[in-house]
Chains A and B, each alone.
Chain A
Amino acid sequence: MKIHIKNGRVIDPASGLDAVLDIYVAASHIVGIGAPAAGPSQGRRSAPSGGSEAWGPSIPADFHANQTIDASGLIVCPGLVDLSVRLREPGLEYMATLETEMHAAAVGGITSLACPPDTDPPLDEPGLVEMLKFRAKHMPGPRVYPVGALTRKLKGEGITEMAELTEAGCIAFSQADAPLIDTQVLLRAMEYAKTFELSVWLRPQDPHLAREGVAHDGVVAARLGFPPIPVPAETVALSTILLLVRETGARVHLARLSSRAGIEMVRHAKQDGLPITCDVGIHHVHLSEMDTADFNAHCHLIPPLRSQRDRDAIRHGLEDGTIDAICSDHAPVDDDAKELPFQEAEPGATGVELLLPLTLKWARETGLPLTKALGYITQHPAAILGVDAGRIGIGRPADLCLFDPEATWVVNRANLASLGKNSPFLGLEMQGRVQYTLIDGHLDFRRGNHH
């Protein structure tokens, strides 16, 4: 399959490229990037930097496209890389299925995703991981990178066969949102992972300080009486993890930071040269505890939405590079588990289809150029995964996302491909919509109404 993508505004955060160019795809790879083949097209947006004059026409020899995509007015960026997508398989198919969520991810422009091990049973045996990889490989949708369970059954007691699980396809090990109470087990798990130079992903939360909590320990919880999760639940756990990283040298990725104090600790630890990276969920870039004040169960998230100051600190942490990546933390939840009082509702929000528009919204609000903003959902998470993704360049895998930056759409049940309709943004308008998603050189998704 040879595909010619014409006249798109190509943005590659890794190289800083932002210019109207043509891209040529063959045999799963990008084989050519060059100035538009046939004269300047009508109504094309002018690129702010790295204009297409710098690129000569570069149609590879003998390139005869099977398919041509007119990307005029569209932005062509690397396919999105999402560090946390719950596909709900195995065992939780009543919430969503592998097929629906893989498709939803492609609709959202995602071409690579990591799935956490909190399935039923958890991903703690090579056979489960092989089965998941096999099933995912034989259906359309993004490349799936399972994150293996750090401990057996995620119980926090015995460590898993990390080496075997890595051979089966795991790219990292985590507890997902399950507690790891025994600090000695955490130390041993990090030492064992370091033995094989494996990456450990941890969401810092002290299970005792967070006990029974459902919301940030702040103004809204004081007012509504929500059982609270105080900020020290994050910082105390973080402090333990950082000390153990110092001790073991293990490569640790910190998942879903939520507090200003936590981000400040990561900032210092990075300055000290610790081998850590960190991410936040896209909802935490936009929302705060104030959004829980009307008991909206869609805003019951893990970790909890914290204060406005914490949210501002997340934005600041992204801009200064303390936070490396933004993920959707996709958690499709069925209606029965959400149509409950706030504290009884299953936490989480559907996210794969909102990751791009909400990242664009953040970029618009902060004035961040797209060459930088898109890096948090492409190049940086790809580096954390350690895979060749998230970049546009000759010889790179043809994983691409083509979106219309001007298109607006309303988040509602009908517009979401995910089985999870649980979104804090239901009823709200988004700007920016994926029109085509190319995965491994194939057109995996194309929106019906784009011409």
Chain B
Amino acid sequence: MSANLQLTDDGRLRHLLTLDGLPARILTQILDTAASFITVTDSERDVKKVPLLRGKAIFNIFFENSTRTRTTFEIAAKRLSADVVNLNINASSQSKGETLLDTIANLSAMQADMFIVRHAAAGAGHLIARHVAPHIHIVNAGDGRCSHPTQGLLDMFTLRHYKGPFHNLRVAIVGDVLHSRVARSQIHALTTLGCPEVRVVAPKTLLPRDVENLGVHVFHKMAEGIKDVDAVLMLRLQNERMRGSRLPTAGEYYKHWGLTPDKLKLAKPDAIVMHPGPMNRGVEIDSAVADGMQSVILSQVTFGIAVRMAVMSILAGN
């Protein structure tokens, strides 16, 4: 099973492919380690570097475009003093017919220590992890609709930072759960870390069948779904979903599931608002909320670097 592939025989993290099946102690270890890196990333500090990964070669391999995620991994790796190579594969070898595993084999031959992989297909990281030499670590930076573990972890870090222990929290995940690897990672992390009530809020066309089996409560109406929650985790609505057979228009979506100041009043007064970015203002979130007092969206970005530093340093140490 997938969980074993991620762990060494003595139960330490070997690859980070998904949060599904990872024990709470490893999630907590990553969050605690990230907390220790917060000072390194502190803007007050002159030298934002530690030498933990000096001499290590980290390859950012992105089979799918993403400037933002790739950049945060790059910054995290550089703050750990690693050498970073960025590769956008869709533009090069794949179009020449090279297979995924051939690409990986070639890059492995360049003495890589770690691959950060984003791919459009679920399980791409698992496939690569099964084929690389034992000393190479894989970090999944997003695979299809399946998982985006570092995003899920940075969301947990943010939640814990602002709201304290998970066992007191009621959290709503709002939007396109069906196509969202972020939502899946959030759900696995929240249920593993002991969050007693995880809700998903979306129209039926944007929810997977049997989603209740993931341990969440299903709501279709915002007013009910975010009532009295401690945190609202908004999801990005992809442009191509805004018109079609799943949703009639962006306008109707905004009216029913867009997070506006009025709707946010239904949550607890001190509830926080999160979003993995990039945001569609006026589609899933109103600017007044995105830029408002309850928004911690920019903190997520900052914490994201510390969390990725934590993941990479833990993997390199195992």
Contact = CB atoms under 8 A, between A and B. Distances in A.
Q: Do A and B interact with each other, yes or no?
A: yes
A343 B124 CA distance: 10
Nearest to B97: A336
B2 A295 contact: yes
A341 B124 contact: yes
A228 interface: yes
A343 B144 contact: yes
A218 B100 CA distance: 28
A293 B99 contact: no
A295 B101 CA distance: 15
A219 interface: yes
A217 interface: yes
A126 interface: no
Interface string A316-341: 00000000000000000000100111
Interface stretch (B28-36, B48-56, B209-217): B209-217
Contact of A339 (B1, B99, B126, B145): B99
> Interface residues of B toward A: which range?
20 to 34
B184 A223 contact: yes
Contact of A341 (B122, B208, B210): B122
Interface residues of A, number: 23
Interface in A24-69: none
A178 interface: no
Given A219-B213, A222-B209, A223-B214, A340 B99 contact: yes
A376 interface: no
B123 A341 contact: yes
Contacts of B179: 225
A182 interface: no
Contacts of B226: none
B121 interface: yes
A339 to B, nearest CB: 6
A228 B121 CA distance: 13
Contacts of A225: 122, 144-147, 179, 181, 184, 208
A295 B123 contact: yes
Interface in A333-358: 336, 339-344
A343 B121 contact: yes
B119 interface: yes
A342 B122 contact: yes
A201 interface: no
Contacts of A426: none
A222 B99 contact: no
A226 B145 CA distance: 7
Interface string B55-92: 00000000000000000000000000000000000000
Interface string A214-237: 000111011111111010000000
A299 B236 CA distance: 32
B288 interface: no
B107 interface: no
Nearest to B212: A222
B100 A228 contact: no
B183 to A, nearest CB: 9
Contacts of A294: 1-2, 5, 126
A434 B113 CA distance: 48
A226 B184 CA distance: 12
A223 B211 CA distance: 8
Nearest to B208: A222
Given A218-B209, A224-B146, A225-B181, A341 B127 contact: yes
Contacts of B145: 224-227
Interface in B1-21: 1-2, 5, 20
Nearest to B119: A341
B215 to A, nearest CB: 10
Interface string B128-150: 00010000000000011111000
Contacts of A223: 20, 184, 213-214
A207 to B, nearest CB: 15
B121 A293 contact: no
Interface in B135-170: 143-147
A222 B178 CA distance: 8
A219 B210 contact: yes
Contact of A222 (B123, B127, B147, B213): B213
Interface string A284-309: 00000000011101000000000000
A218 B214 CA distance: 11
A295 B20 CA distance: 13
Contacts of B213: 219, 222-223
A224 B123 contact: yes
Contact of A295 (B100, B122, B181): B122
A224 B123 CA distance: 8
Interface string B93-106: 00000011100000
A340 B127 CA distance: 7
Nearest to A227: B145
User: Which residue, A218, A297, A336, A343, has most C-beta atoms of chain B within 10 A?
Assistant: A343
A340 B20 CA distance: 21
Given A224-B184, A295-B123, 12 more contacts: A219-B213, A221-B209, A225-B184, A225-B208, A297-B127, A340-B99, A340-B100, A341-B121, A341-B124, A341-B144, A342-B123, A343-B122
Across the A-B interface, the 7 shortest Cβ-Cβ residue pairs: A225-B145, A295-B123, A341-B121, A222-B208, A225-B146, A341-B124, A222-B210
Interface of A: 217-219, 221-228, 230, 293-295, 297, 336, 339-344
Interface of B: 1-2, 5, 20, 99-101, 119, 121-124, 126-127, 131, 143-147, 179, 181, 184, 208-211, 213-214
26 contacts: A217-B209, A219-B210, A221-B209, A222-B213, A223-B214, A224-B145, A225-B122, A225-B146, A225-B179, A225-B181, A225-B184, A227-B145, A294-B1, A295-B122, A295-B123, A295-B126, A295-B127, A339-B101, A339-B131, A340-B100, A340-B127, A341-B121, A341-B127, A341-B143, A342-B122, A344-B121
